[in-house]
C-alpha cells in the first residue's frame, strides 16, 4: 500500500514554467502568447491586485459588504481565466469574483454582490457563469452538470469551477468530479490550494500529499501546478480545455497558491494561525513580481505602464462604487417578483400586501 | 381511454414530455435500461435513447447538482431520487440550490426541474424508504411540492410539473402505484398545479388530505354516510403552496374540518393548513380543526406499520369529535 501511495504521489510533481526570478524554466511548455497577450495578463493581474486593496479599504469604510481577499492568487485566478473563451461557463466559489469580472461582469455589479443586492447577480446576456457559490462543494456537482450539458449540446465550450483546499474534503467535491469523469463532461475543476481553509492548514484536511491526486479516485486526468506562475496555470488550463473539447473528458487542476490577506473581511485574523515568515516566504513567489521581471527582461513593461494600470483601476473602482450607490434599493415586491415564473397563490397575496405597504 | 395504474400513468406522462420537448431528460439510479426500481421509466430508454434517459452514479447530491447544471444549459431535467429517505443526501442541492436559482440570479436564470421520488407506507419497505418528508421541502421557498393520489391526477400533474418553469418536488406514494386502476386519457393533458380537488362533495364536515390519505378519507366518508354524515373530501394535490381558496369555500359550507396526513404530527403540512384556516375562516368554524396524523416517532419498523399509520377509523373518531364538539 505504501508503494502504491508513493507511486501515485510521484506522478504529481509540480508543474512550473516561470520561476521566481522571472526565468522560463520549462521552454516546452511556454505558452504561445503574443506581446499584447503578455501585457494584457500583467495588466489584469496588477488591476486585480489594486481591486483587492481597494475592496478591503472600501469594506473597512462600510462601503462594501462580504469580501474574500484575492491578493496572491492572481496567477491562479487570472491565468486560468485567460485560457478560457467567452462561451465557457464559470461556476465560481466565493473568492472567485475576479474571474467573473474579466469574463464580463460589470464591476458595479460585483460590488452589488458584495453588498447583497440581487442586481449584482443579474448577469448581462453573454456573461456565462453563476454568482459566487457560498456552499462549498455545490459548484462542483453543478459544474459536472453544465459540462455534461455542453457536451450534449455539442458546444465547443467548457464548464470551469473553482474551490479551495478545504473544499476538497466535501462529499460534493468527490461526487462532482466523479460524475464528470463517468460522463466525460466538458468540465475543468480547479482546486486553488492557498494552504488554509480559514484557520485550518491543508495538512489537517487530508493525509494525501497533493490535492491533485484526488482526481485519481474518479479516474480524472489531474495536474499539480505552481499557482503563483501565470504561464503554468495558463498552459495547464489551455491543455485541459483542449482535452475536454476533444472529447477526452474533465480535468482536475490543483494550483499551489497563497492568500496574503485574511479569509474574509468578516473578522478573520490570519496572524492567529500563520506566521509572518510563512507569508514572507510566499511573497517571494509573488505572481506579479515574477511576471514583471519576465516582461522587463523583454522590454515589455515599465513603471509608467504599471502606474497607468493602477490609476485606471482606481478610477474604474471609484466610478463603479458610485454606480452601485446610485442603483435603486431593493423592495420586498422585487424579491417576491424574482421567486417564480408564475407566482404561487401565497406570493400573489403577499405581493399585494407589500405593494400596499410600499405605496405608503 | 384506458384503465391504468398510477405507475403507468406516470410513465405515460414522461413518455409524452420526452416526445414533446427534446430538452426533457430523465435520469437517476437504475432508471435507464432497468426501467426503474418500480418500472416507472420502463421502455423510455429504448424509445428515446441513452442520451435522453440515462443512469447516474449512486450519489443523490450529485444527481441534484447534475440537474441544476443541465438546467443551466437549457435542459428540462426530470431526475429521480430512488426512495424519499435519500433526499437528505440531496437537501442542499434541492433546498439550498435548485429552489433558489431563479431568485439568486435575480430572475436571470431558472431551474425547470421536476424531482420525482417514491414515498409512503403500507408496503413493508426497509428503513428510510417510506418516510413522509414533504414538510421539509414545503418549508423551502422557491419549490412546489406535488403529491398525486390517483392515476388521472398523477399523469396530468406530472406533465404540468415538467412544463412548469420552476422546480417541483413530485412525490409518488408507493402504496398507490399499483393498488387500483382508473381511466386515464391516452393523450397528453394537464392538471393545474396549486389547485386542490374536491374528490367528494359533502355538507357536514370537510376532510382535507393528500397522498394515500385521500383514499383513507374517502373510505371514512363512505362509513360516515351510514350515520348520515356527509363529508366533503378535499385532495390538496399541490401541498406547497396550498390552495386555500378551495379550502375556505368548503369550510364556509361545512363549518367543520379534519386535516389528515400520513406524516407525523410534528411533520407534514397539517399545522400550516390549520393556521391558514384559523386566520381566514375562524368565524365559520363550529369546532376546532382537528388532525389525524402518525405519532411523533421515527417511521415504524415495517411490522409495526399497521398500528402506526393513520387509518379511516382514526378519521371517523376525529369527525365524531368535531361533530359533537
pLDDT, one tens digit per residue, over B46-58 is 999 999 999 999 9
* Residue A1, pLDDT score: 65
**CA A138: distance to chain centroid?**
15
Q: Helix (H, G, I), strand (E, B), or coil: what is residue A93?
A: strand
- CA-nearest residue to A91 within chain B is B69
Q: Rounded distance, CA A222 to CA A216, Å? A: 7
Other C-beta atoms closer than 10 Å to the C-beta of A269 total 9
Other C-beta atoms closer than 10 Å to the C-beta of A267 total 7
Cβ–Cβ gap A152/B73 under 8 Å: yes
Our CA angle for B24, B25, B27, nearest 5°, is: 155
User: Of B97, B144, B245, which is closest to A138 when you measure between CB atoms?
Assistant: B97
User: Of B106, B110, B240, which is closest to A341 when you measure between CB atoms?
Assistant: B110
| Annotated catalytic residue within A273, A274, A327, A354 | A273
- Chain B hits for A149, CB-CB cut-off 8 Å, are 69-70, 72-75
- Region B71-76 average pLDDT: 98
Cβ–Cβ gap B97/A142 under 8 Å: yes
10 Å CB burial of residue B51 (0-12, 13-18, 19+) is exposed
CB B141 within 8 Å of CB B102: no
Please provide the DSSP assignment of A30-90 as one string: -----HHHHHHHHHHHHHHHHHHHHHHHHHHTTS--S----TT-HIIIIIHHHT--TT-EE
CB B26 within 8 Å of CB B18: yes
Cβ–Cβ gap A141/B64 under 8 Å: yes
Pairs across A and B, CB distance < 8 A = 137
Q: Rounded distance, CA A55 to CA A324, Å? A: 13
Whether A103 is a known active-site residue: answer no
- Chain B hits for A154, CB-CB cut-off 8 Å, are none
Query: What's the pTM value of the predicted model, to 2 decimals?
Result: 0.97
Give A335→chain B minimum CA distance, Å: 7
pLDDT < 70 positions in chain A: 1
DSSP state of B157: H
Q: Rounded distance, CA B299 to CA B277, Å? A: 28
pLDDT tens string B232-260: 999 999 999 999 999 999 999 999 999 99
DSSP state of B247: H
Which run of H or E residues covers position B208? strand B205-209
Cβ–Cβ gap A121/B106 under 8 Å: yes
Which residue in B143, B132, B139 sits closest to B272, CA to CA? B139
Helix residue spans in chain B (DSSP H): 6-20, 44-48, 60-72, 91, 101-104, 134-138, 151-163, 213-226, 244-254, 270-281, 305-308, 312-323
- Region B164-173 average pLDDT: 98
Predicted-complex ipTM score:
0.97
DSSP state of A96: -
- CA-nearest residue to A139 within chain B is B65
Q: Which three cell numbers stand for residue B223?
A: 362509513
Other C-beta atoms closer than 10 Å to the C-beta of A60 total 11
| Residues contacting B271, CB < 8 A, separation 6+ | B291
* Residue B1, pLDDT score: 77
Amino acid at each position: 500500500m505504501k508503494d502504491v501511495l508513493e507511486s501515485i504521489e510521484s506522478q504529481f510533481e509540480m508543474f512550473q514554467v516561470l520561476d521566481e526570478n522571472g526565468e522560463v524554466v520549462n521552454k516546452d511548455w511556454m505558452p504561445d502568447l503574443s506581446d499584447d497577450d503578455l501585457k494584457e495578463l500583467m495588466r489584469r493581474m496588477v488591476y486585480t491586485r489594486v481591486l483587492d486593496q481597494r475592496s478591503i479599504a472600501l469594506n473597512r469604510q462600510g462601503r462594501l459588504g462580504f469580501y474574500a481577499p484575492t491578493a496572491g492568487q492572481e496567477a491562479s485566478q487570472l491565468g486560468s481565466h485567460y485560457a478560457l473563451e467567452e462561451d465557457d461557463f464559470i461556476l465560481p466559489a466565493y473568492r472567485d469574483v475576479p474571474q467573473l469580472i474579466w469574463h464580463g461582469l460589470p464591476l458595479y455589479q460585483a460590488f452589488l454582490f458584495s453588498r447583497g443586492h440581487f442586481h449584482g447577480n443579474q448577469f448581462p446576456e453573454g456573461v456565462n457563469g453563476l454568482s459566487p457559490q457560498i456552499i462549498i462543494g455545490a459548484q462542483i456537482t453543478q459544474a459536472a452538470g453544465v459540462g455534461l450539458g455542453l457536451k450534449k449540446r455539442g458546444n465547443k465550450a467548457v464548464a470551469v469551477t473553482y474551490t479551495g483546499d478545504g473544499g476538497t474534503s466535501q462529499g460534493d467535491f468527490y461526487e462532482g468530479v466523479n460524475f464528470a469523469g463517468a460522463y466525460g463532461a466538458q468540465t475543468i475543476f480547479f482546486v486553488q490550494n492557498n494552504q488554509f481553509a480559514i484557520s485550518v492548514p491543508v495538512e489537517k484536511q487530508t493525509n494525501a500529499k497533493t490535492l491533485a491526486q484526488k482526481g485519481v479516485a474518479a479516474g480524472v486526468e489531474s495536474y499539480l501546478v505552481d499557482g503563483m506562475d501565470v504561464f503554468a496555470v495558463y498552459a495547464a488550463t489551455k491543455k485541459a480545455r483542449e482535452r475536454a473539447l476533444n472529447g477526452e473528458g474533465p480535468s482536475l487542476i490543483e494550483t499551489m497558491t497563497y492568500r496574503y490577506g485574511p479569509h474574509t473581511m468578516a473578522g478573520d485574523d490570519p496572524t492567529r494561525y500563520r506566521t509572518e515568515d510563512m507569508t514572507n516566504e510566499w511573497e517571494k513567489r509573488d505572481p506579479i513580481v515574477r511576471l514583471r521581471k519576465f516582461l522587463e527582461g523583454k522590454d515589455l513593461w515599465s513603471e509608467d505602464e504599471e502606474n497607468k494600470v493602477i490609476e485606471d483601476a482606481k478610477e474604474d473602482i471609484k466610478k463603479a462604487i458610485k454606480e452601485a450607490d446610485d442603483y435603486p434599493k431593493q423592495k420586498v415586491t422585487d424579491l417576491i417578483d424574482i421567486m417564480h415564473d408564475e407566482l404561487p397563490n401565497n406570493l400573489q397575496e403577499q405581493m399585494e400586501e407589500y405593494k400596499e405597504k410600499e405605496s405608503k | 381511454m384506458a384503465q391504468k395504474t398510477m405507475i403507468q400513468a406516470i410513465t405515460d406522462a414522461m413518455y409524452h414530455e420526452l416526445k414533446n420537448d427534446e430538452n426533457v431528460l430523465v435520469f437517476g439510479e437504475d432508471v435507464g435500461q432497468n426501467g426503474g426500481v418500480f418500472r416507472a421509466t420502463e421502455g423510455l430508454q429504448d424509445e428515446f435513447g441513452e442520451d435522453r434517459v440515462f443512469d447516474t452514479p449512486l450519489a443523490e447530491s450529485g444527481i441534484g447538482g447534475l440537474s441544476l447544471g443541465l438546467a443551466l444549459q437549457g435542459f428540462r431535467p426530470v431526475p429521480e431520487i430512488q426512495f424519499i429517505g435519500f433526499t437528505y443526501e440531496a437537501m442542499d442541492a434541492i433546498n439550498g440550490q435548485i429552489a433558489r436559482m431563479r431568485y439568486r440570479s435575480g430572475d436571470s436564470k431558472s431551474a425547470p426541474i421536476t424531482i420525482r421520488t417514491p414515498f409512503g407506507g403500507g408496503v413493508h419497505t426497509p428503513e428510510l424508504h417510506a418516510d413522509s418528508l414533504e414538510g421539509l421541502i414545503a418549508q423551502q421557498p422557491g419549490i412546489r411540492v406535488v403529491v398525486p393520489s390517483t392515476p388521472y391526477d398523477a399523469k396530468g400533474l406530472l406533465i404540468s410539473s415538467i412544463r412548469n418553469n420552476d422546480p417541483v418536488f413530485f412525490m409518488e406514494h408507493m402504496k398507490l402505484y399499483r393498488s387500483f386502476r382508473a381511466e386515464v386519457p391516452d393523450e397528453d393533458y394537464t392538471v393545474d398545479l396549486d389547485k386542490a380537488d374536491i374528490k367528494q362533495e359533502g355538507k357536514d364536515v370537510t376532510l382535507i388530505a393528500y397522498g394515500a390519505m385521500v383514499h383513507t378519507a374517502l373510505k371514512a366518508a363512505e362509513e360516515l354516510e351510514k350515520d348520515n354524515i356527509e363529508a366533503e373530501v378535499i385532495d390538496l394535490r399541490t401541498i406547497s403552496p396550498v390552495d386555500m381558496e378551495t379550502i375556505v369555500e368548503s369550510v364556509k359550507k361545512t363549518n367543520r374540518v379534519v386535516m389528515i396526513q400520513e406524516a407525523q404530527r410534528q411533520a407534514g403540512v397539517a399545522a400550516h393548513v390549520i393556521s391558514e384556516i384559523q386566520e381566514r375562516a375562524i368565524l365559520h368554524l363550529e369546532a376546532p380543526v382537528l388532525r389525524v396524523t402518525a405519532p411523533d416517532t421515527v417511521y415504524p419498523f415495517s411490522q409495526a406499520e399497521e398500528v402506526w399509520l393513520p387509518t379511516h377509523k382514526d378519521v371517523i373518531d376525529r369527525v365524531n369529535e368535531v361533530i359533537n364538539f
